[in-house]
Amino acid sequence: MTARDLAELAARNLREAILRNSLTTLGVAVGVASLVAMLSLGVGLQALASDRLTKSGLFDAVFVTSRRDFRGPGGDGPPRKSSAPPEKFKPLDEDARQQFAALPNVVDVYPQIRFLTDVRYQGNSHSTNVLGVPESSRSASAFDAITGKYFSSPAAEEAILQQDFAKELSPQPASLVGKEITLRYAERRALSSDEIAKEKDIDAQLDAMMTGGISIVSREKKLRIAGVIESDPSAGFGGGRVFLPIRVAEQLHAAQANDVQDFVRGGGFGKPTYAALTIRVKNPKNVLQIEDAIKKLGFNAFSLLDASKTLRQVFIVFDMFLGLFASLALTVASLGIVNTLLMAILERRREIGVLKSLGATDGDVRSLFFAEAGAMGLFGGIFGVALGWLIGQALTWGTTIYLRRQDLPGVKISYVPWWLAASAIAFAVAVSLVAGLYPAGRAARLNPVDALRYE
Amino acid sequence: MPTQTLTNTLIGAEKVSRQYQLGEAIIHAVNEVSLEVRAGEFLALLGSSGSGKSTLLNLLAGLDRPTSGAIHVEGRDLAALDANELARYRRDTVGMVFQTFNLLPRMTLEENVELPLRLAEVDRAERSARVAEALERVRLGARRQHRPSELSGGEQQRGALARALVNRPRILFADEPTGNLDSVTGEQILLLLREIQDSLGMTIIMVTHERPLAERFANRIAVLSDGRLVDQFALSTGAVV
């Protein structure tokens, strides 16, 4: 029989027992829908996470620390293995920064500037962290949903507040835009021996010498609030609640945590060093190459590309589990197909006998039942993908409503890419064909004489 | 084989037996039957219920395989054919009509008649002409869109006959074709069979338990009893038409 004749006969047979076949197909559809809904959730969440991470600017960045400081930005990890001799400690200073900036494919090199301050607003004092953000963060997703504006220029004396912090200052964060705040911070100043000598108070001279030539001076800086954002642009990496243009932050020379480290290690004399430098590269593809170059220069380099690989693995396992559970529904549905087809064989026993007496081969009969199983799988698959997509939309809708109530931006948690839709349909057809294997074989093996005798 | 050497021998059955296991007992439905059918003849297999005539018909038509013995059709040994070849034999060489007509109830008459053409993968463009021709031959051209339930018994049997003829077989097997029809309609069917035999040169083998009908329409009668061939004789009939 030709494929077209087979399809016509199968369609006719399916139409004849329309209710039963529809119910079976619906069963397949529900199975596929649960599969698609679950996997779309997995894919959606993964896309969401990747998108957030990509926009966070963490994937086109290499983080550099001095070899002396064994702790990378990741925390108290074990010392990194290095090819360079361990005694060669290069300070992460201005020279190093220039060196990095000269590397190919490097867009920007900036230090991590984060310090504690007191923010004064309307006579009240609020203690918080300040973070310098580079100009390249302008495109970060966190600034998409800004109330107000991004810094007017890379050196503007402006601040952007994180929403929670803004709420501490005023119950209506939006009203803060354009207002002025005062930062009180500790300025780190390296003292020359001349300056120490000029100090009139001998005790102060002694202090200055004892502390290795650093003086910490309390300073104030007035800044205009440019905007308020909901989330942290550094995606929790570094962390801060008041954001300043990095150039402005650098000019403040605020004392940072590593100053104390420098001091303890006796490196306080001479040029200031950076706790960490972030190198922004043109393309995430360049990250490994830059990482290698930095390591050869004798510094620790770290990128989140490794972290993203782990994330992808986690999601694959997550998707597999979701898929496994959802497949159970499809398995139950496939049993429905077996049942429906076995019923059909009983009902159409005589018809099978007639077909065989007219010259249908076992293969013809088998193909006919296969085609019916496949069609139920196909329609169930298509309907199921649509249903699964709807469930995903409903989940997104529900989550968005919930998040909005929590004053959080809505997110698209479910996503059905074309490959998921196509493979779900293909999977449904495949499962249905497997389900049709036994009934079709049984129909094909029917003895025509017995089948014709059957009433 | 003597049956093969004879000219005009279309079907030769040699010591054909078919046994069934029914619980402990073995039923000898057909017991060492040897039979020859010549091309173009109308043979009636006559016997009472349970005589094995239908079983023999099924064996000759390739619906069933003998337990022992050989059946040669057009020189081919049916026992040597595999399942697919046997199906092709049923499709291309043989046409069958049954007592219960066996038209598929959900299809129109036209669609029923088209079924063998679908199985034979006949070109679509050719099909409607072939269907129309077969239906005209049994004078059902006007009923092509009707479903079997909308047709009388005689019409259904004529429809079944059209379906059996549409693939232009050389042998027509009819299993009690008048069994479910009144005598007048039954006679019409047999007249039609004779007409087809004459106009197409078709070989017809019919199973019946009605001796008078067999004697009126067949060229030859083979009598079966308890699975054995007990008598066979030629008739000078044929002028009844």
Asked if the structure places residue B180 within a domain, the reply is yes
| A12–B107 CB contact, under 8 Å | yes
Give the distance from residue A347's alpha carbon to the nearest chain B alpha carbon, in angstroms: 12
Are B152 and B174 in the same domain? Answer: no
Residue A347 forms contact with B (CB below 8 Å):
no
Could you give the maximum distance between any two Cα atoms of chain B, in Å?
Answer: 54
Are B152 and B142 in the same domain? Answer: yes
ipTM for the predicted complex: 0.92
Are B27 and B146 in the same domain? Answer: no
Are B78 and B24 in the same domain? Answer: yes
Asked if the structure places residue B109 within a domain, the reply is yes
Tokens 């004697």 locate to B215
Are B146 and B222 in the same domain? Answer: no
pLDDT for B64 equals 93
Give the distance from residue B237's alpha carbon to the nearest chain A alpha carbon, in angstroms: 31
Size of interface A-B (CB pairs under 8 A): 66
pLDDT for A111 equals 82
| Residues of B with Cβ-Cβ distance to A368 under 8 angstroms | none
pLDDT for A147 equals 80
| Residues of A with Cβ-Cβ distance to B63 under 8 angstroms | 356-357, 448-449, 452
CB within 8 Å of chain B, chain A residues 408-447: 447
| Residues of A with Cβ-Cβ distance to B83 under 8 angstroms | 361-362
* Structure confidence by residue, pLDDT tens digits, A198-247: 666 666 666 655 555 567 778 888 888 888 887 766 554 556 788 888 88
Which of helix, strand or coil describes residue B10?
strand
| Residues of B with Cβ-Cβ distance to A447 under 8 angstroms | 64
Are B155 and B133 in the same domain? Answer: yes
Residue A449 forms contact with B (CB below 8 Å):
yes
Residue A210 forms contact with B (CB below 8 Å):
no
| A1–B119 CB contact, under 8 Å | yes
Are B123 and B184 in the same domain? Answer: no
pLDDT for A75 equals 44
> Along the 241 residues of chain B, how does pLDDT read in single tens digits?
444 444 578 899 999 999 988 888 999 999 999 999 999 999 999 999 889 999 999 999 999 999 999 999 998 999 899 999 999 999 999 999 999 999 999 899 999 999 999 999 999 999 999 999 999 999 998 999 999 999 999 999 999 999 999 999 999 999 999 999 999 999 999 999 999 999 999 999 999 999 999 999 999 999 999 999 999 999 875 544 3
Which comes out higher in pLDDT, residue A67 or A38? A38
pLDDT for A15 beyond 50: yes
Which comes out higher in pLDDT, residue A47 or B75? B75
The secondary structure of residue A72, as a DSSP letter, is B
Specify which residues B42 forms β-bridges with: B204
| Residues of A with Cβ-Cβ distance to B91 under 8 angstroms | 358-360
* Structure confidence by residue, pLDDT tens digits, A305-358: 766 677 778 888 888 888 888 788 888 888 888 888 888 888 888 999 999 999
* Structure confidence by residue, pLDDT tens digits, A282-313: 777 778 888 888 888 888 887 877 666 777 78
The distance of Cα A21 from the centroid of its chain, to the nearest Å, equals 42
Are B9 and B89 in the same domain? Answer: yes
- Which candidate from B90, B102, B104 shows the least CB-CB separation from A359? B90
Name which of A358, A368, A446 to mutate to probe chain B: the one with the most chain B Cβ atoms within 10 A of its Cβ: A358
Are B18 and B81 in the same domain? Answer: yes
Q: Are B99 and B179 in contact (CB under 8 A)?
A: yes
CATH number of the domain to which B84 belongs:
3.40.50.300
Q: Which residue of B has its CA nearest to A364?
A: B119
Domain ranges, residue B208? 1-93+169-241
Q: Which residue of A has its CA nearest to B89?
A: A359
Which comes out higher in pLDDT, residue A4 or A267? A4
Are B116 and B226 in the same domain? Answer: no
* Backbone phi and psi for residue A160, each to the nearest 5 degrees, phi listed first: -115, 135
pLDDT for A73 beyond 90: no
User: Average of pLDDT values for A43-47?
Assistant: 82
Q: What residue type is assigned to position A245 of the chain?
A: P
CA atoms within 13 A on the CB side of B152: 9
Residue B88 forms contact with A (CB below 8 Å):
yes
* Structure confidence by residue, pLDDT tens digits, A87-142: 456 778 888 888 888 888 888 888 878 888 888 888 888 888 888 888 777 766 66
| A355–B102 CB contact, under 8 Å | no
pLDDT for A403 equals 87
| Residues of B with Cβ-Cβ distance to A11 under 8 angstroms | none
Asked if the structure places residue B123 within a domain, the reply is yes
| A357–B116 CB contact, under 8 Å | no
pLDDT for A187 beyond 70: yes
How many H-runs (helices) and E-runs (strands) does chain B carry?
A: 8, 10
Asked if the structure places residue B158 within a domain, the reply is yes
| Last residue within a domain, chosen from B121, B151, B168 | B168
Q: Other CB atoms closer than 10 Å to residue A377's CB: what's the count?
A: 31
User: Alpha-carbon torsion B192, B194, B195, B201, what sign?
Assistant: positive
pLDDT for A353 equals 93
Reported as a pLDDT band with limits 50, 70 and 90, residue A193 is: low
* Structure confidence by residue, pLDDT tens digits, B149-190: 999 999 999 999 999 999 999 999 999 999 999 999 999 999
| Last residue within a domain, chosen from B122, B153, B168 | B168
| A9–B83 CB contact, under 8 Å | no
- Which candidate from A16, A359, A447 shows the least CB-CB separation from B88? A359
Residue B18 forms contact with A (CB below 8 Å):
no
User: Average of pLDDT values for A439-454?
Assistant: 88
Are B195 and B154 in the same domain? Answer: no
Q: Are A280 and A136 in contact (CB under 8 A)?
A: yes
* Backbone phi and psi for residue B68, each to the nearest 5 degrees, phi listed first: -150, 170
Asked if the structure places residue B186 within a domain, the reply is yes
Are B127 and B69 in the same domain? Answer: no
Reported as a pLDDT band with limits 50, 70 and 90, residue A251 is: confident
Asked if the structure places residue B99 within a domain, the reply is no
Which of helix, strand or coil describes residue A215?
strand
The distance of Cα A295 from the centroid of its chain, to the nearest Å, equals 27
Asked if the structure places residue B116 within a domain, the reply is yes
Q: Give residue limits of the domains in chain A.
A: 3-53+311-453, 60-108+277-303, 113-273
If one counts the domains in chain B, the total is 2
CB within 8 Å of chain A, chain B residues 105-144: 106-107, 115-116, 118-121
d(CA A267, CA A133): 27
Is residue A401 within a helix (H) or strand (E), and if so which, with residue range? Answer: helix A362-405
Q: Which residue of B has its CA nearest to A348?
A: B104
Residue A354 forms contact with B (CB below 8 Å):
yes
pLDDT for B232 equals 92
Q: pTM for the complete prediction?
A: 0.67
| B102–A452 CB contact, under 8 Å | yes
Token code pair at residue A157: 């004396």
* Percentage of residues in chain A having pLDDT higher than 90: 19
pLDDT for A332 equals 84
pLDDT for A192 beyond 80: no
| B120–A359 CB contact, under 8 Å | yes
Residue A139 forms contact with B (CB below 8 Å):
no
First-to-last alpha carbon distance for chain A, in angstroms, is 27
Reported as a pLDDT band with limits 50, 70 and 90, residue A76 is: very low
d(CA A40, CA A44): 6
Burial class (CB in 10 A: 0-12, 13-18, 19+), B193: buried
* Structure confidence by residue, pLDDT tens digits, A406-439: 877 777 888 888 998 999 999 999 999 999 999 9
pLDDT for A260 equals 59
| Last residue within a domain, chosen from B112, B135, B168 | B168
Residue B52 forms contact with A (CB below 8 Å):
no
